[in-house]
Amino acid sequence: MRSDGSALNPRRWWRSAGFAWTGVRHAYRSQANFRIEVWAGAAALALAAALRVPLAPVALACALVLALELVNTAVEAVVDLTSPDPHPLARVAKDAAAGAVLVAAAGALVVGLVTLAPPLWRWVTGTG
Ligand SMILES: Nc1ncnc2c1ncn2[C@@H]1O[C@H](COP(=O)(O)OP(=O)(O)OP(=O)(O)O)[C@@H](O)[C@H]1O
């Protein structure tokens, strides 16, 4: 459905937010990787809260991974719709979208290690 570009309309905004939430629910139901990332992110946030380290970097890293996994899911759906038979460009689209998730996940791992590992080590060794 195309937007007519008119001024902000709260009812339309809620309707759009509902469609967006439906997309998130679809990804959660259909994509095992998305489910793993949701729960890994929740665990990282809980650990950050327990260790009393700043939540913002962990939350941002998790949000980036989840957002790119949603984009990857969208790319997969569009490619499967438009190119059900193998095609080199379809492969490029799917591989690049998956690569975006991989890059974000590697970044999130670095953020998690830098943010959580030192206080966790101090807590484990009792040197904090
Ligand atoms: N239509 C296609 N044409 C060419 N290569 C494709 C096509 N569909 C998939 N591939 C190749 O197979 C790989 C896996 O594709 P697939 O759709 O199974 O994604 P996936 O990463 O297994 O996703 P998921 O497990 O989340 O469904 C792609 O990254 C791509 O290299």
| Active-site residue, selected from the candidate residues 65, 69, 72, 112 | 69
Complex ipTM value: 0.92
Distance 37 CA to ligand 1 centre (A): 19
Give the total number of structural domains in the chain. 1
Does residue 19 form part of some domain? no
Q: Which domain holds residue 39?
A: 32-125
Q: What is the DSSP string of 27-70?
A: HHHH-HHHHHHHHHHHHHHHHHHHTT--HHHHHHHHHHHHHHHH
Q: pTM to 2 decimals? A: 0.91
Does residue 14 form part of some domain? no
For residue 35 and ligand 1, the question of a CB distance below 6 A is answered with no
Q: What is the CATH number of the domain that holds 66?
A: 1.10.287.3610
Does residue 120 form part of some domain? yes
pLDDT per residue of the chain (128 residues) written in tens, 0 to 9:
555 666 789 999 999 999 999 999 999 999 999 999 999 999 999 999 999 999 999 999 999 999 999 999 999 999 999 999 999 999 999 999 999 999 999 999 999 999 999 999 999 999 86
